[in-house]
Amino acid sequence: MVDVVRPCVVIPTYDNPRTIGDVVARVRAHVPEVIVVDDGSGPAAREVLATLASAGAITLVTRAHNGGKGAAVLDGLHAARAAGFTHAIQVDADGQHDTDDVPKLLAAAIAQPTALVLAAPRFDASAPKSRLVGRRITIFWTDLEAGRGVIEDPMCGFRVYPLATATAVRVVGRRMDFDIEIAVRMAWAGVPVVNLPTAVRYVPAAQGGVSHFRMVGDNLRISWMHTRLMHVLVYRKTLGRLVRWVARSWTASRP
């Protein structure tokens, strides 16, 4: 049981040279300790990150090669735990999230320190239709996996993790499937989930906004991840019970 909430911010980044500085400054207005995980960015972004680190604004964790958003977040969560933090506020580096809502998310974590606090996006007109459709599909599957409405939006990368449970659950996905899978697996592990609305926008390319979401690759990876989770669920609900019942009957029938 966590008595005191000691939060930090974890930002995974892959080539966000024009937005990362602003995101760091905005989150630091609420939480001074910020861990940025560089997931194999190019020279321009590396230079910005080095400047932020040498100014003491961030603790920089550098991955030798690009491993995916999930791999970067996981490294950040483990680094945060090792540094003695109890909670990590995850924020994307592309400027999409409304960092003014950091105190709201943090207040929910302080009120319920064991909970996973998820921001549930309210998009404006800047959101591409294709991303909204993909979201509806993944929410359909997540409702089946975790229970209807338990996780309002499993894809939003703005959330507060209680680090003890977040670093203990087994998550297979390391790319865009990670955010969804860890939320479902934490719910399965009995972690309470709190959903809070937040405004999300797509920053125009002219202002440095960039999406690395791969329409085909990431959607296929997400579909495969739901297939895996559904198999686990079906096994637990049906085959697992059957196997346990047979084992119990066999043991009871022995002299």
Which parts of this chain interact with Mg ion (CB under 5 A)?
92, 94, 96
Place of tokens 């680090």: 163
16 interacts with, out of ligand GTP, Mg ion, none, CB within 5 to 8 A per kind: ligand GTP
- Judge contact between 20 and 48, C-beta under 8 A: yes
β-strands 159-162, 87-90: how paired? antiparallel
Minimum CB distance to ligand GTP, residue 119 (Å) = 12
Cα separation, 138 vs 147, in Å, equals 13
Q: Closer CB to ligand GTP, residue 30 or residue 164? A: 30
Q: Which is nearer to ligand GTP, 39 or 153 (CB)?
A: 39
Q: Which amino acid is at 183?
A: A
φ/ψ region of 211 (left if φ > 0, alpha if ψ in -120 to 50, else beta) reads beta
CB 196 to ligand GTP: min, Å: 18
Residue 94 or 98 having the CB closest to ligand GTP: 94
**Residue 95 tokens, joined:** 């400027």
Report the partner that residue 66 touches, choosing among ligand GTP, Mg ion, none (CB closer than 5 to 8 A by kind): ligand GTP
- Least gap, CB of 21 to Mg ion (angstroms): 17
Which residues, at least 6 apart from 179, have a Cβ–Cβ distance to it below 8 Å? 69, 70, 73, 154, 155, 156, 157, 159
Structure tokens of 250? 């066999």
- Nearer CB in complex with ligand GTP: 17/162: 17
| Closer CB to Mg ion, 192 or 197, in the complex | 197
Residues in contact with ligand GTP by CB under 6 A are 12-14, 16, 39, 66, 68-69, 72, 92-94, 96, 131, 157, 176, 211-213
In Å, what is the CA distance from 245 to each residue of 236, 239, 241, 252, 253?
13, 10, 6, 10, 12
- Residue 107 identity (one-letter amino acid): A
Q: What is the smallest separation between the CB atom of 234 and Mg ion, expressed in angstroms?
A: 32
Cβ 242 to Mg ion shortest distance, Å:
43
